[in-house]
Amino acid sequence: MAENQTHRGGFGTHGGESDAFIERAFREKIVLVGVAVGGGDPARTEADLDELAQLIATAGADEVGRLVQRRGAPDPSTYIGRGKAGEILAVCEQADADTVVFDDELSPAQQFNLEKILGRSAIDRTAVILDIFAQNASSQEGQAQVELAQLRYRLPRLRRGRAFSQQAGGIGTRGPGETQLEVDRRRLQRRIHKLEAQLQDIAKSRGVQSRSRRRSAQSAAAIVGYTNAGKSRLLNRLTDSGVLVQNRLFATLDAATRRLELPGGERVMLTDTVGFIQKLPHQLVEAFGSTLDVVAEADLLLHVVDASGPDPEAHIAAVRRVLREIGAGAVPEVLVYNKCDLLAGRDLPLGADRDAIAVSAATGEGIDKLLAAMADELRSGGIVVELRVPYARGEVLAAVQRAGHVLATDPDEEGYRVQARLDEASASRLSEWVVG
């Protein structure tokens, strides 16, 4: 085995000062490894590796080989067993690979043991996703969220075996000192606490904004979906917002909110959110809590699916798993199949979701139908009330029209009798005029 061999690769100094899990001074050569555990479908494993290859390319590296293993349960020490590790080493040596990337998360001990055997970096899907997030984060909040996720991932993976560092001299201070490992661990913990406090302040600010929005009775919708499903392009199509659009995974990390007016005149605050993916690292879900609160508190979700993608149903299931994890599983949802212009005559992969809306954010096809569906869904969540508004109080009538959907308006000798569908906050705010 190659326990003493060293090899280039961005992850070889894991736990040090570098923030990169994948080296970008050159294009690393990567071998991918997938494991079908407990009778799992090898075809599903291959599909997951195809997606991992996309992630690798997005991170700036090249796939030079892959292996798939079937086993009843992961090996506790190496995940794949020493025999398979030997096969991987042979492939790496033949392809001159720099790094081995596993599709499932490795424990710190498994990673350490694999790197000893392979003589090169061994990382997992989580590290690759964190690396891509680090490349794409641009706002102060996004950078703090990504750094927090990285540090939580790094902390249990700090390497042992460093030399002792002498404590500062002086009476009562001499002794064996602390290990460098302990110093590093304490330094990371301090930084984690600082980032957590910073993001808590941001979450409080978001809470104030959310309460202010609810007092104004303005509805909120969030665009969610698998990464690269076309969420930002859809936001641009709906609101003419000019948000950056790129054909790459995780191009959007920072939430963008724009105002949208629906066909009935209702105004909605529409937010684009970070894309989800299979096996989304729990460190990211926790770190992006303040951003994902926007999803959990929304009145409506636009669940965007790439209709031209390889496995839309698996993407839908992955997104809904994350939605349940962040407490948004019960938020009303409109399923939107995007990129229908790329189907080239193929049928829409509706599956069991016959009420889904087919659109193309690129061409505008189906957008009117989507807006109507949004309006119907938001109105269905309100209550029907009857109001009497004097003729002289036109501003009250306008407020009713802005806040909800006016079903009927009948003039009589005292003013307008208005039947409208309002949410509870709006009905309470207009209670002075409610008669039934």
Secondary structure of residue 315 in the 3-state scheme: helix
Decide: 124 and 102 in contact? Cβ < 8 Å.
yes
pLDDT at position 153: 92
Of 87, 117, 134, the residue that ends a domain is 134
Residue 150 resides in a domain: no
- For residues 36 and 79, membership in a common domain is answered with yes
Show Cβ contacts of residue 56 under 8 Å, excluding neighbours closer than 6 positions: 22, 30, 32, 62, 63, 101, 128
The CATH number for 410's domain is 3.30.70
Residue 378 structure tokens: 């938001």
- For residues 375 and 399, membership in a common domain is answered with no
Residue 127 structure tokens: 């590290």
- For residues 356 and 321, membership in a common domain is answered with yes
pLDDT at position 22: 64
Of the chain, the end-to-end C-alpha distance in Å amounts to 81
- For residues 282 and 399, membership in a common domain is answered with no
Of 134, 149, 174, the residue that ends a domain is 134
- For residues 107 and 128, membership in a common domain is answered with yes
The CATH number for 248's domain is 3.40.50.300
- For residues 371 and 323, membership in a common domain is answered with yes
pLDDT at position 319: 93
- For residues 290 and 407, membership in a common domain is answered with no
Residue 63 resides in a domain: yes
Decide: 361 and 338 in contact? Cβ < 8 Å.
yes
Show Cβ contacts of residue 192 under 8 Å, excluding neighbours closer than 6 positions: 148, 151, 152, 155
CA distances from 329 to 138, 350, 394 (A): 29, 20, 40
Of 379, 399, 425, the residue that ends a domain is 379
- For residues 278 and 357, membership in a common domain is answered with yes
Residue 317 resides in a domain: yes
- For residues 275 and 370, membership in a common domain is answered with yes
Consecutive H or E run containing 71: strand 62-71
- For residues 225 and 374, membership in a common domain is answered with yes
Residue 374 resides in a domain: yes
Range of the structural domain that residue 397 is part of: 382-433
Residue 194 resides in a domain: no
The CATH number for 67's domain is 3.40.50.11060
Secondary structure of residue 14 in the 3-state scheme: coil
Structurally, how many domains does the chain consist of? 3
Neighbouring-strand partners of residue 415: 390
Rounded CA separation 39/354 (Å): 32
Nearest partner of 267 among 378, 363, 356, judged by Cα: 378
pLDDT at position 82: 93
Residue 87 resides in a domain: yes
Q: Give the start-end residues of each E strand in 121-214.
A: 121-124, 164-165, 178-179
Decide: 206 and 290 in contact? Cβ < 8 Å.
yes
Q: Give the start-end residues of each E strand in 218-328.
A: 219-225, 256-261, 267-272, 300-306
- For residues 368 and 406, membership in a common domain is answered with no
Residue 173 resides in a domain: no
Q: What is the pTM of this model?
A: 0.77
- For residues 363 and 402, membership in a common domain is answered with no
pLDDT at position 16: 37
Decide: 158 and 181 in contact? Cβ < 8 Å.
yes
Ordered per-residue pLDDT tens for the chain, 436 residues? 444 455 556 543 433 344 566 666 678 999 999 999 887 788 889 999 999 999 999 888 999 999 999 999 999 999 999 999 999 999 999 999 999 999 999 999 999 999 999 999 999 999 999 998 888 887 788 888 889 999 999 999 887 544 434 444 444 434 455 677 888 889 999 999 999 999 888 878 776 766 665 555 568 899 999 988 999 999 999 998 777 666 667 776 777 889 998 887 778 889 998 889 888 888 888 888 777 888 988 889 999 999 988 888 889 999 999 999 988 998 999 999 999 888 876 777 665 566 889 999 999 999 999 999 998 888 776 778 899 999 888 888 888 887 776 778 888 888 888 888 787 778 888 888 888 6
Residue 414 resides in a domain: yes
